[in-house]
Structure 1
Amino acid sequence: MNTITSDPIADPIACPSPSALRVAMARALHQLLDRPLVLEDPFALGMLGPETAAALMLDPDAYNDVPARSLRAGIVARSKFAEDRLLRAVASGCRQYAVVGAGLDTWALRSAQSLPAVDVYELDQPAMQAWKHRRYADNAWMPPARLRWLPADLREASIMDALAHGGANLSARMAVSILGVLVYLDHAVVERAIHALGALPIGSVLALDYRLDEQCLAPVERTMMQFTAQIMAAGGEPWQSSSTPDRMKALLATAGFDVEEDLGPAELNARYLARRRDGLQIAGGGFRYLSACKVR
């Protein structure tokens, strides 16, 4: 079987971010293979482009070996974790959501009817946003009225500058998700991005994932992470940063954030993937999933 940690199915116009396409494929395969759904996403397949979507629909089990299931479990569980935190923020009055490194995320489409008062800002590189525009056109999807696509490369630009240029109200609370992003940035860029978020007002919330330092892992987990890192590097998107819970907590504290939760795979499995007959679980402890609130 093929795992989606290998090269994604080729599209006539290649997706500029193989990692973004892999994430979208995992979300789409979750709709085809897994019950009950952790994350309902009726737009997931359409986001892939017609050739990739058709290939997955013809033979989804070709992408259902053990590594692919673990990756898929992690992707859908981390999205549910971040979106649950967002919903709590919206319930308390937050009306702005920034998706940093949005890739092929579909929250804006899924929530357009149920939460029409939330402004959504998707930050990503221009080439990735152009590819996503084509997916909208292919599927005749109308962009939600409150969705804004903001071109930004975090290696060169500040999250806050991009939001300001995109018309966000930086004096009002904001929920921010940064999923599948920090691992591809070097330590200096990660620190700069987190420090920039210190300009958000008190009450803003943040959900992110980060790679755990290898010395924090058991030998088997370390080997698994090294193997996956080699695959990512071979695909042109090498992993560049990692952290420990203590270092990440300290970094966020410098920006005025207090960590609410910092969960490993075992906690995420217990929360979102317990007692499943299909055995969908995150294997290994290489990544952690964190939420934080701006308190000062």
Structure 2
Amino acid sequence: MEPGQPSRTAMSAAHARAVHQTADAPPVFPDPLAVRVAPAAAPGRAMPREVRLFMALRHRIAEDALAAAVAAGTRQAVLLGAGLDTFAHRNPHPGLRVFEVDHPDTQAWKRKRLADAGIPVPETVVHVPVDFAAGTLGAALADAGFTPGAPAFFAWLGVVPYLTRSAILATLRFVAGLDARTEIVFDYNLPPAELPAERRAVLAALAAAMAKAGEPWRSYFTPEKLARDLADAGFDAIEDLAWTACLERYGLDAALPDLFGGRIVRAVAD
């Protein structure tokens, strides 16, 4: 992202969630605030339906997992790379504090979007501006009032592919190393070599578009390697969902093509 500007991928993802509300009826991920805060799409940048649906599914899976965690006693959630995520502003769980972690420029942009849309910021929201080039997630959360000795849920959506493997593993070790039960949901991409030839072209086109926007994909994982990395980081239970499994979970058409090999993970450290 450019200095002083919000993440372009955050803008694109927000637009996808907004379009999903009307283009994919009924939406698998209902978000009544999405249309009010999302920026307009760039001309000529129509997103394939399956890519848009994957973005909706990762939010639905994360919020379903969070609801289960809250029912089990979790009272703090952390949105890593929150972008224009609206969960904190439609949070249905009384007593759940939501820590929104993002780059200061993206957070400033988001708060202006919310103000312009007339959407208030609830008292349960804590903004945690983090420039990872200058500070650490643990220190920033501690300064914001996060309680490391209490159960916590982390959502890390649309972020992992843009980070280096070392940065990803450092964050996973931090989450799993907290003093109470933690849970994290995130998405990642398969390596091109793991995909059929016809899908590699789609992945290459998407990767090229991200690089052109100045936010290139930097990491890919196989399920087997990621499972070992998660276990080494300290996670005890791992659920890794492929495209078809996500579709079947919510009664969607399992024949929809998997365009780029995106997968969604839920991992728990007790």
Q: Give the TM-score taking structure 1 as reference length.
A: 0.84
Question: What is the SS of the residue equivalent to 2:266?
Answer: strand
- State whether structure 2 residue 99 is matched by structure 1 residue 124: no
How far the C-alpha of 1:259 sits from its partner, in A, is: 3.7
Question: What is the SS of the residue equivalent to 2:31?
Answer: coil
How far the C-alpha of 1:196 sits from its partner, in A, is: 1.7
> Does the 8 Å CA contact 1:97/1:120 hold for their aligned counterparts?
yes
How far the C-alpha of 1:19 sits from its partner, in A, is: 0.5
How far the C-alpha of 1:221 sits from its partner, in A, is: 1.6
Letter of the 1:234 partner, please give it.
K
Q: Gapped runs of 5+ residues in structure 1?
A: 1-13, 57-61
User: Of 31, 35, 57, which aligns to 1:45?
Assistant: 35
Q: Gapped runs of 5+ residues in structure 2?
A: none
CA 1:273–1:69 in 2, change beyond 3 Å: closer, same or farther? farther
Aligned counterpart, 2:77 = 97
Question: What is the SS of the residue equivalent to 1:83?
Answer: helix
CA 1:107–1:216 in 2, change beyond 3 Å: closer, same or farther? same
How far the C-alpha of 1:252 sits from its partner, in A, is: 1.4
Deviates more, 1:185-194 or 1:21-30: 185-194
CA 1:236–1:23 in 2, change beyond 3 Å: closer, same or farther? same
- State whether structure 2 residue 263 is matched by structure 1 residue 294: no
Aligned counterpart, 1:222 = 200
> Does the 8 Å CA contact 2:175/2:182 hold for their aligned counterparts?
no
User: Of 30, 34, 51, which aligns to 2:20?
Assistant: 30
**CA displacement 1:103-146 (0-9 Å, x = unmatched):** 000001111xx312100000000000000010121022221111
Query: Alignment RMSD, CA only?
Result: 2.2
Q: Give me the whole-angstrom Cα distance separating, in 2, the residues matched to 1:203 and 1:162.
A: 20
- 1:254-265 equivalences in 2 (<5 Å): 254-265=232-243
Letter of the 1:215 partner, please give it.
A
Aligned counterpart, 1:178 = 156
How far the C-alpha of 1:155 sits from its partner, in A, is: 4.9
User: Of 136, 148, 160, which aligns to 1:158?
Assistant: 136
CA 1:155–1:286 in 2, change beyond 3 Å: closer, same or farther? farther
Question: What is the SS of the residue equivalent to 1:209?
Answer: strand
Q: Give the TM-score taking structure 2 as reference length.
A: 0.92
Letter of the 2:78 partner, please give it.
A
Aligned pairs, number: 267
- 1:126-141 equivalences in 2 (<5 Å): 126-141=104-119
**CA displacement 1:42-61 (0-9 Å, x = unmatched):** 11112125xx28x99xxxxx
Question: What is the SS of the residue equivalent to 2:238?
Answer: strand
Question: What is the SS of the residue equivalent to 2:202?
Answer: helix
How far the C-alpha of 1:158 sits from its partner, in A, is: 2.8
Identity among equivalent pairs (%): 35
CA 1:140–1:180 in 2, change beyond 3 Å: closer, same or farther? same
How far the C-alpha of 1:227 sits from its partner, in A, is: 1.1
